[in-house]
C-alpha cells in the first residue's frame, strides 16, 4: 500500500512540474524575465502604457505571443528584395529635397513589405502587435516614423512644422531607425551576401552597395557629410576631402588608403607619377 501511495505522490509532482514548465515557456515565467528579454524596448513601452503594472504588461505580451508567435510568414524572392532595396535607396535620395514625402513613402514601403510577409495590414489594430512579436527590437523607429507621418498629415502636410530644422532632423532619425525593421523583415526572408575584400562573407543590408556600406540617410545639406552620412567631415583630412569622391572609391582602395598599403588595380601603373 505504501508503495502505491508513493507512486501517486511522484506522479502528482511530475504533473505539477510539467504544468509549471509549460506556463513559464508561454508567459516568460512569473517574473517576466523571458518576456523582457524577448521584447526589449517593446516591453518597456507596454509597461509604460499600463502605468508600471507588471502583471498587466506580461499578460498583454503573452497574449501577443500566443496569437502571432506561430503565424506563417511568407517568403520574398531575391528579385523582389532587390526591387525593395532600390525603392528604399530612392527614398533616401529624395529625403534631401523633400523629407516629409520621403518619410511617408518609407512608411508605406515598410507597410507593403509587412503585408507581403503576411502581417496584418497597416490600418489594422493588429499591425504593430504582430510585428512586435517577431521584430520587437527593430519596431520603435517604424513607430516613430508612423507618428511623424500622421502628425504631418494633421498639420496639413507640413514637414518641419514650427520646429523647422529640428523637425527635419527628427524625420531623418526616424527614417534611419525605421530602416532597421525594413532590413530585418527582408533578412529573415533570405538575403544576398557578398565577400569583403580579404575577409569572410558578410551580409549586405538591403539597399546598400559596396561604395555605400552604411546606406546612411544624407544629413541636411548645410552639414559636411562623410561617406557614412554622419556629417562629421574634417576639411583638413585629405581622405575626407579627395575632391568629394572618397565615398565613390572601391572598397579595396579605401582599405589600402587606411592601412598604407598599395592600392590594387587603379594605382598599379601610377608609381612613376609619384
Q: Lowest-confidence range among 109-113, 174-178, 213-217? A: 213-217
Q: Cα angle vertex 203, ends 202, 209, to 5°? A: 100
In the predicted structure, residue 221 carries a pLDDT above the cut 70: no
CA–CA distance, 161 with 157 (Å, rounded to integer): 9
In the predicted structure, residue 117 carries a pLDDT above the cut 90: yes
**212: β partners:** 209
Which residues are CB-neighbours of 37 under 8 A, at least 6 positions away? 28
pLDDT, residue 6, reads: 77
Cβ distance 182 to 110 under 8 Å?
yes
Q: Structure pTM?
A: 0.60
User: Which one is predicted more confidently, 210 or 159?
Assistant: 159
pLDDT digits (tens, 9 = 90+) for 83-107: 999 999 999 999 999 999 999 999 9
Cβ distance 206 to 191 under 8 Å?
yes
pLDDT digits (tens, 9 = 90+) for 6-58: 776 777 777 777 755 555 444 444 357 899 999 999 999 999 999 999 999 99
Q: What is the mean pLDDT of the chain?
A: 73
Amino acid at each position: 500500500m505504501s508503495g502505491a501511495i508513493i507512486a501517486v505522490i511522484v506522479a502528482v509532482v511530475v504533473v505539477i512540474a510539467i504544468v509549471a514548465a509549460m506556463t513559464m515557456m508561454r508567459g516568460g515565467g512569473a517574473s517576466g524575465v523571458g518576456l523582457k528579454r524577448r521584447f526589449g524596448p517593446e516591453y518597456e513601452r507596454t509597461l509604460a502604457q499600463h502605468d508600471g503594472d507588471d502583471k498587466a504588461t506580461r499578460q498583454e505580451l503573452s497574449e501577443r505571443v500566443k496569437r502571432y508567435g506561430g503565424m506563417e510568414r511568407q517568403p520574398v524572392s531575391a528579385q523582389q528584395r532587390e526591387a525593395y532595396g532600390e525603392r528604399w535607396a530612392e527614398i533616401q535620395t529624395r529625403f534631401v529635397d523633400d523629407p516629409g514625402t520621403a518619410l511617408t513613402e518609407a512608411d508605406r514601403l515598410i507597410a507593403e513589405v509587412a503585408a507581403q510577409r503576411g502581417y496584418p495590414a497597416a490600418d489594422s489594430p493588429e499591425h504593430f502587435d504582430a510585428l512586435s512579436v517577431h521584430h520587437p527590437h527593430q519596431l520603435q523607429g517604424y513607430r516613430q516614423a508612423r507618428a511623424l507621418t500622421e502628425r504631418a498629415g494633421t498639420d496639413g502636410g507640413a514637414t518641419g512644422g514650427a520646429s523647422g530644422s529640428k523637425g527635419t532632423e527628427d524625420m531623418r532619425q526616424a527614417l534611419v531607425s525605421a530602416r532597421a525593421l525594413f532590413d530585418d523583415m527582408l533578412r529573415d526572408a533570405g538575403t544576398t551576401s557578398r565577400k569583403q575584400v580579404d575577409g569572410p562573407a558578410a551580409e549586405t543590408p538591403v539597399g546598400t552597395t559596396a561604395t555605400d556600406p552604411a546606406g546612411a540617410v544624407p544629413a541636411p545639406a548645410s552639414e559636411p557629410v562623410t561617406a557614412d552620412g554622419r556629417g562629421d567631415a574634417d576639411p583638413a583630412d585629405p581622405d575626407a576631402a579627395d575632391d568629394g569622391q572618397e565615398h565613390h572609391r572601391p572598397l579595396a582602395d579605401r582599405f589600402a588608403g587606411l592601412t598604407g598599403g598599395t592600392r590594387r588595380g587603379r594605382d598599379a601603373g601610377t608609381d612613376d607619377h609619384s
